[in-house]
Amino acid sequence: MYSAQIEKFLKAKKISIGDRVKVGQYEGILMPRIELGDTSSLVIKLDNGYNIGVKFDKSMKKVKTEWRVEKPQAKTGVTKIVFDKKLPTISIIGTGGTIASKVDYKTGGTSASFLAEDIAKQVPDLKEIANIRAWQIMEMASEDMVPDTWVEIAKAVAEEINQGSKGIIVTHGTDTLHYTAAALSFLLKDLPVPVAVVGSQRSSDRGSSDTVQNVSCAANFVANSDVAEVCTVLHGSVNDDFCFAIRGTKSRKMHTSRRDAFKAVNDAPIAKIWWQDKRIEILNSYKKRNDKKVLVDGKIETKVALVKFFVGMDPDVLDFYKKYKGIVIEGTGLGHVATRSKLSLIPKIGKMIKAGIPVVMTSQTIYGRTHPSVYRNLRTLSELGVIFVEDMLPETAYIKLMHILPKARNVEDVKKLMQTNMVGEITERTEVVSSE
């Protein structure tokens, strides 16, 4: 609530939350006060979609009533939007995140309020691209997801595909979107159609939201491309012009807030999708659509850790993971950790490997590839049994290790599987590529 003075004034003037008002030079929709906001200031949503705080002024007047704040209605199940038999049918599976968020007027932050069907209806050109089935399976911030969540999403994707959907969009929070994209790449076997994991850096009720372009490009990609892989599909530049479809095992969020935060690492994007003219430009090789029935290989080992090496790291840190089933280390450069100082990790790593715990090496530089023999200490690690995984991203290696451990009989099996390219997670050679 606003201050007693403001509440009394609003009641006297018959002004309600949701009414269009004018205060000085500002005109817009009167919004609820955020829980932690100044009780003597008004919150007004301008026509450009942004909210501003305005000092209360008794000259405030109601312009006209044309919009009111509505509480989100609980919706579940599958929603179909207008069906056109000439168009392919695709599915939108909602999981939550910023793309499904609106401003929370209790805190002033954002919270999940848009469901999959809301997002579908918000993108006007979807009806020209495909028939839409919208299904909300959860409302979860991506940082709250756990490995079992990936399996749940994979099962929902497989169900839609096996019921005839020609492409899948998974809406998702951006912070761990690349984890889910990589996980789905491994979990979905014999994938016959494209799967686009889509997010938004700006909430769907903001004027600068990237939701509409990202969902539109993703719909075009899954409905009309010949690709049969899991990709992330988000803005390719800061402008509203195109999106990149990036292989799920090679995509990573590289900025906290830019709309073009996702980049293809050590690889080129599979496609560039132009928003307005609906053109799809293929940039890389890919697996093609097929008639196979997709299966979910959902058996994973969750007792796996991703550990970042840092200068001054106490080797005893690794003791915490002595009961884990596998460790992925983010080393420096080509895959270094301390090996010849008083803080050498060699004894602890060697002990883990002897105990049957696979230790996988990636690089915290993100770009480039690890190498087991360029320097003496790298050879020491390799001879110890550390598994170097070429140019695989740390997060992808972490997920792949979870995926293969139930299939491996011993550490040698783990090494062979980790160093085998399964779904584009390893490239044969590092090329100079750009996502621009």
Q: Within a 10 A sphere around the Cβ of 138, how many other Cβ atoms?
A: 15
Catalytic member of 19, 118, 175, 391: 175
Q: Within a 10 A sphere around the Cβ of 51, how many other Cβ atoms?
A: 17
Catalytic member of 95, 98, 176, 249: 98
Look up 253 and say whether it is catalytic: yes
Look up 430 and say whether it is catalytic: no
- Alpha-carbon span 136 to 114, nearest angstrom: 10
Catalytic member of 79, 149, 174, 362: 174
Catalytic member of 166, 250, 253, 263: 253
- Alpha-carbon span 330 to 348, nearest angstrom: 16
Token pair of 405 as six digits: 């451990």
Token pair of 65 as six digits: 């009533």
Token pair of 156 as six digits: 């929902």
Nearest to 100 by CA among 110, 79, 114: 114
- Cα torsion 279, 284, 287, 290 to 10°: value is 20
Look up 76 and say whether it is catalytic: no
Nearest to 403 by CA among 421, 417, 385: 417
Provide φ and ψ at 351, rounded to 5°.
-65, -40
Look up 380 and say whether it is catalytic: no
Kindly list the catalytic residues.
98, 174-175, 253
